[in-house]
Structure 1
Amino acid sequence: MNDELRERVEREAEKHALLNAVKHESDADVGAIMGPLMGDNPDFRQHGDRIPGVAGGVVGRVNDLSYEEKRERLEELAPEELAEIEAGDEEDEHDLPSLPNAAEHEEIRMRCAPNPNGPWHVGHARMPAVIGTYRDRYDGWFCVRFDDTDPETKRPDLDAYDAILEDLEYLGFEPDEIYRASDRLETYYDHARELIELGGAYTCSCPGEEFSELKNAGEPCPHRDKDSETVLAEFEEMIDGEYESGELVLRVKTDIEHKNPALRDWVAFRMIDTPHPREEASEYRCWPMLDFQSGVDDHLLGITHIVRGIDLQDSAKRQRFVYDYFDWEYPEVVHWGHVQIDAYDVKVSTSTIAALIEEGELDGWDDPSAPTLSSLRRRGIRGEAIVDAMVELGTSTSDVDLAMSAVYANNRELIDDDTDRRFLVREGNQLPLGGSPPDEANPPLHPDHESRGVREIPVGDAVLLEPDDVPAREERVWLKGLGCFQYTRDTLQYTGEDIDVVRDGDVDVVHWVPARESVPVRMRTMDGDVSGRAEPAVAELEADEVVQFERVGFARVDRHEDDETVAYYAHP
């Protein structure tokens, strides 16, 4: 990087750092400014590996300034942008940064491109959450494109296509179009033929290890200078299935001396002997690599902005060689870091989850301890809660942590007001009642909504309490919705005292259920099944209804069986 370029990078980085700091009234963040910085200065991208280091130093100097000093400096560098911030610009309503150069496009067009090798785990939700939010924000367009052109290593699961679309619906988004790359092989073949005629590709029969040695030495493959007629003929033979796996590949001709060996003459098509699981694609044996297939599709579908992991920066660089041959304009790219998810003992990966299901460690993709969207859905967590948590992570190039507690907090805010309360006692201790308590307890369905009414819980001659709630001898306890009792002579004696004993702080309030009339419940949790008994009305709740078991947490009623009600625990 020469001195002139370095000065430009520092100047632009300072502006974006100041914008970030003043807008949020906090220190600037390197990850947060990288997207806008690179978006405003496309020529910086070829120096992408060095820009963060320069920007980091600038951000450090900016963060040493007071807020007022930052504002004054921003007024010198970018008075119009400062005015927009202080005028309460519309963008303040959004958690996500603006898409780079969005105003230059008539319509924002994005794609969600899953590999259908299994249902989505929690981490997969980040992509549809972000692009769906951008689509709504810009009144744009997005598609789901199943990138299913690897029938062997990442073999598609036929059930996953519909499962992923169901997950997308659960998150609250409907794609404008749906494509399957395995339906588009002829399109990729046509573009490969055109690329060959342009002199941009050649067929290569070098063994992988031999080519790797040549590539790493910056030496050309002996097949590189074949004439296009020969290459085209051999490619047609690949399409016709006349070669076996590993015999012949089609390579994109790049710069054999490129400083990054991963970009040197990369494979565009290879032979795969394993038939595709989709019947419509099962006869094909010549399959495109993802970088070729995805690059062609992004152009043909008019994609304006791509969101992808920072680890896939080389994909854009490979694809640009193809785009240059065809004289296409490459889409804007937003790179982000990985999202790490806490709260799960299971590794968050499709292959690991599938293996655990196969081994019987999980009883399916919606097992309560599986880190999948189908599990969260069955537990009664709304898709909106997940989307909001993912959007709040932004698009930083740094790795970010998603605390499931953030999802739970979002969900609690969404459902608390509508969720009725019920009693559930786990591993209950049975205690007889004495002293003529009321025959029926009437706790409210919801403490904040008296108009919703009360529950009618028959009391009987004994109750169940959770072990930790059993009072010490001669101590008093308030059975919620029923009254005050004193534990005397192995019996809870009704005292008839009013609620003032609770208000004075002398008596604990606990939940309970009648010993005889309560109903068995099996609550499925992330840590295993929990048995308990609930107030009688729980047996009459509709499947899929979410309740709050008081002092236990929120749960979704899954089903009623002959001998028990099964519920899935959501969160506290």
Structure 2
Amino acid sequence: IDNPEHPRTGNKYRVWPLYNFASAIDDHELGVTHIFRGQEHAENETRQRYIYEYFGWEYPETVHHGRLSIEGVILSKSKTRKGIEEGKYLGWDDPRLGTIRALRRRGIQPEAIRELIVEVGLKKSDTTISWDNLAAINRRIIEPIANRYFFVADPIPMEIRGYEEEFTAEIPLHPDYPERGVRKLKFTPGKPIYVSKDDLELLKSNEYIRLKDLFNVKIVEANEERVIAEFDSVEYEKAREHRWRMIHWVPEGKPCEVLVPEGDELIVRKGLLEMNADLKVDDIVQFERFGFVRIDKVEGDKVIAIFAHK
């Protein structure tokens, strides 16, 4: 018998009802008819049945199920709480976590979670599902509603020689829904455009590439500081015929950060977003060649997004 002082009743009692006693009494008095709980509580049913049988009560229908885990995200409540208290996680909606709030913050739709759970079903054994499975369902749901934009991570200026006229690229907000309108990106002679450092391996001297929805260029020089290219042609058909790689770009842009969960790490990708991208908090969009994101904050011209999946 333990003798700690109770915060409310002091030393009035010496023995306290334990979990299984209290749960059994509560379930009966609340009129519970069905119990759904984790497989780890299966042994508790034996103890709680004893209370019910002693009082002559009918025990509720009980279903024990295994734990449903998502690969690559943290689901443990104790680890999450400790991480939040230590400042490791931003809160219960930290994108690295597997809480409902965290999934929502990443742009995972309720329908996707519901569909996945129904698809997996109720099982007694623990089940671990791949993040890719959840992403595939979510992608199918958000693909029709997500407008497209160019986000250039770790931008490098590209100087294009040999084209002396302004050129305005008109790019659909969504390739399957032309009625939504277009984005307009203007190339101006003498001014650089910006491409992503991620594409540096494609930008080799004497190689040709297609600047998406703009024109084809030949790479003269490329390093982490700048890229110099020469205009080749406008026609997309030529790039397709020669199988030239295609990359995205922006002529100028507003600052943008994308928080990318990678296991226990939260990577911040900084770059430039299309200047005229009209985005608001909770918008789900696709950054072309980068992935689907949910807009988390808009601070003046600066946009902060959370990476959902490819």
Q: SS where residue 385 of structure 1 aligns?
A: helix
Q: Which residue of 2 aligns with 1:308?
A: 37
Q: Could you tell me which residue of structure 1 aligns to residue 239 of structure 2? A: 502
Greater relative contact order (CA < 8 Å, ≥ 6 in sequence): 2
Secondary structure of the equivalent of 2:183? coil
Q: Is 1:524 the counterpart of 2:259 in the alignment? A: yes
Instruction: Report what 1:444 is aligned to.
Output: 172
Q: Distance in 2 between matches of 1:421 and 1:563?
A: 18
Q: Which amino acid aligns with 2:63?
A: V
**Larger fraction in strand:** 2
- TM-score under structure 2 length normalisation: 0.86
Corresponding residue to 1:390 among 107, 117, 122: 117
SS at 1:504's partner residue? Answer: helix
1:463 aligns with 2:200: no
Match of 2:274 among 535, 552, 560: 535
Q: Give, in angstroms, the shift of residue 327 of structure 1.
A: 2.0
CA distance in 2, matches of 1:413, 1:290: 44
Write the distance in 1 (CA, Å) between the matches of 2:10 and 2:105.
48
Q: For residues 511 and 336 of structure 1, what CA distance do their matches in structure 2 show?
A: 47
Note if contact 1:334-1:395 (Cα within 8 Å) is conserved in structure 2.
no
Deviation, 1:445, is 0.9
Does 1:430 find its partner at 2:165? no
Q: Where in structure 2 are there 5+ consecutive unaligned residues? A: 222-226
Counterpart AA for 1:355: K
1:248 corresponds to: 14
In 2, the alpha carbon distance for the partners of 1:519 and 1:443 equals 18
1:93-492 aligned within 5 A: 206=1, 241=9, 243=11, 248-249=14-15, 270=16, 288-344=17-73, 346=74, 348-434=75-161, 435-436=163-164, 438-460=166-188, 461-470=191-200, 471-488=203-220, 491-492=228-229
Deviation at 1:307, TM superposition (A): 1.5
Q: How many residues align?
A: 294
Q: Any idea what the Cα deviations from partners look like across 1:332-373, whole Å, max 9, x if unmatched? A: 1111222333113x4x22221121122121122222223322
Give the match's secondary structure for 1:368: coil
1:547 shift after superposition:
0.8
Once the two structures are superposed, what CA deviation does each residue of 1:365-402 show, in whole Å capped at 9, x if it has no partner?
22222332222212221122122222322222112112
Structure 1: 5+ residue stretches without partners:
1-205, 209-237, 250-269, 271-287
Conserved in 2, the CA contact under 8 Å of 1:436 and 1:494? no
- Decide whether the 8 Å contact of 1:423 with 1:534 is kept in 2: yes
The separation in 1 between residues aligned to 2:7 and 2:106, in whole angstroms, is 47
Aligned residue for 1:274? none
Q: 1:506 to 1:364 in 2, by over 3 A?
A: same
State the AA in 1 paired with 2:212: K
Whether the aligned pair in 1 keeps the contact of 2:154 and 2:198 (CA below 8 Å) is no
Q: CA deviation at 1:468?
A: 4.1
* Aligned equivalents of 1:472, 1:301: Cα separation in 2: 72
How far 1:505 sits from its partner (Å)? Answer: 4.5
The answer (yes or no) to whether the contact 1:390–1:402 under 8 Å persists in 2 is no
In the other structure, the counterpart of 1:565 is 303
Asked if structure 1 preserves the Cα contact closer than 8 Å seen for 2:217 and 2:230, the reply is yes
The match for 2:224 is none
The alignment-based identity, stated in percent, is 35
**Residues 238-280 of structure 1: CA distance to partner in whole angstroms, max 9, x if unpaired?**
9982527xx722xxxxxxxxxxxxxxxxxxxx1xxxxxxxxxx
Q: What SS does structure 1 have at the residue aligned with 2:160? A: strand
Give the Å deviation of 1:314: 1.8
Paired letter, 2:14: L
- Aligned partners of 2:218 and 2:229 also within 8 Å: yes
Q: Give the corresponding residue for 1:82.
A: none
**Alignment partner of 1:553 out of 291, 298, 302:** 291
Structure 1 CA distance, aligned partners of 2:242 and 2:179?
A: 28
Say which one has the larger Rg: 1
State the AA in 2 paired with 1:293: A
Return the alpha-carbon distance in structure 2 between the equivalents of residues 297 and 459 of structure 1: 70
Residue pair 1:428, 1:532 contacting (<8 A) in 2 also: yes
Matched AA of 2:232: T
d(CA) in 2 for partners of 1:354, 1:323: 35
Confirm or deny: 8 A CA contact 1:291 1:319 kept in the other structure.
yes
The residue type equivalent to 1:503 in the other structure is R
Distance (whole Å) between structure 2 residues aligned to residue 317 and residue 482 of structure 1: 70
With over 3 angstroms needed to count, the CA separation of the structure-2 counterparts of 1:418 and 1:522, relative to structure 1, is: same
Task: Tell me the amino acid that sits aligned with residue 555 of structure 1.
Answer: V
The 3 A distance-change label for structure 1 pair 443 and 437 is farther
Distance 2:25 2:205 in 1: 77
Q: What is the deviation of 1:207? A: 5.4
Equivalent residues of 1:554, 1:570 under 8 A apart:
yes
Distance 1:338 1:413 in 2: 26
Cα 1:388–1:310 change in 2 (3 A) is same
Which secondary structure does the structure 2 equivalent of 1:340 belong to? strand
Q: Provide TM-score, normalisation by structure 1.
A: 0.48
